[in-house]
Amino acid sequence: MATTADWIEGARPKTLPAAAAPVMIGASAAFYLGGFSFFRTLLALLVALSLQIGVNFSNDYSDGIRGTDEHRTGPARLTGGKLAKPSQVLAAALACFALAGVLGLILIAVSGTWWLLLAGVAAVLAAWFYTGGKHPYGYYGFGEIMVITFFGFLATIGTTWTQIPQAPWWLWLAAFGVGLLSADLLMINNIRDIPTDKLSGKKTLAVRLGNQVSRGLFVQAIWVAIFLGIIVILGTGTSINWGGLALFLALTVPFSYFTIRPVVKGAQGRALIVVLKNTGLLTLLYALGLSLSLASAW
């Protein structure tokens, strides 16, 4: 029987920055544009977190019943590790999706952005079919693209739009930047699992590109994200926010080095778990630096 600690681990807290970071940036953009709402930001955050946890439980369930997790090198999964019944994990995933749906409807009703209803439905479907269904797109190398789409563009711009209906050019760059870092959370996880994913027939982007190319792509995504953040800071305000730029670089560049170093050095298997954790922290630092820069721009 799964313990509370097992369920918390099953929710994969190391991946939650992918949900929180774009909401932070989107809310800060709304503040900069003059339309910030704490209540709507809180709703957007809860929707994003519910979806992310739902994705994680759904992934646990689908991979578990397929036998994909039998040889994994990461932490044991609820279904694959036989810590919980598949029906229980499925119920947890569906409950998270239902919660996200209810909170999303409240956010849409409060903000009047009814077009986001279609985007919300698409997000839930994308969450399920990542590893669910007969032909999960996560098994064909499209996971990172969907992460950038939903946890980059949709989560960031959607958060801003529910507070003030504007999406300036720099917001799209910020959304792309945080989306790249969120995709790196998935990429480093898949790099770690290349040997076992090959055995199970799971053709992730990392499996398709190979170990070395995938590691290079992981590193490049971080530097491109930081470059996009610099452009955003330079492109907002009536004058250059040197203080905000310095803060952003101080928060992201040094930690990027520590995040990238094990990947470049060729760390394998469980040694990459710390990189997953550090990538999540880097994503939060990126969002924090960019958010504070936007909040202090004039």
Condensed to tens digits (0 to 9), the pLDDT of residues 75-95 reads: 678 888 888 899 999 999 999
pTM, to two decimals: 0.93
The gap from C-alpha 128 to its chain's centroid, in whole angstroms, comes to 15
Cα pseudo-dihedral 54, 137, 87, 2, rounded to 10: -60
* pLDDT at residue 100 is higher than 70: yes
Q: What is the rounded average pLDDT of the residues 142-162?
A: 96
Contacts 24+ apart (CB under 8 A), 265-270: 268/192, 269/73, 269/192, 270/73, 270/74, 270/192
**Would you call 254 helix, strand, or coil by DSSP?**
helix
Q: Where are the domains of the chain?
A: 8-295
- Reported as a single tens digit per residue, the pLDDT across 221-235 is 999 999 999 999 999
Is 97 in a helix, a strand, or coil? helix
Q: What is the pLDDT of residue 188?
A: 96
Q: Is the pLDDT of residue 287 over 70?
A: yes
What pLDDT does residue 69 have?
60
**pLDDT at residue 73, as a whole number:** 63
Q: 120 or 261: whose pLDDT is higher? A: 261
Mean pLDDT value of segment 94-114: 95
pLDDT band at 74 (very low <50, low <70, confident <90, very high): low
User: What pLDDT shows up at residue 212?
Assistant: 97
Q: Are 95 and 210 in contact (CB under 8 A)?
A: no
**Using CA atoms, how far apart are residues 66 and 158, in angstroms rounded to an integer?**
34
**Which SS3 state, helix, strand or coil, does residue 11 take?**
coil
For the cut 70, the answer to whether the pLDDT of residue 195 exceeds it is yes
Quote the DSSP letter at residue 135.
S
Q: Which of 10, 3, 8 is nearest to 80 (CA)?
A: 10
Task: Write the pLDDT tens digit of every residue in 12-37.
Answer: 998 899 999 999 999 999 999 999 99
Region of 84 please: left (phi>0), alpha (psi -120 to 50) or beta: beta
Residue 72's pLDDT is 59
Structure tokens given for 92: 């947890």
Greatest CA separation for the chain: 59
Q: Is the pLDDT of residue 66 over 90?
A: no
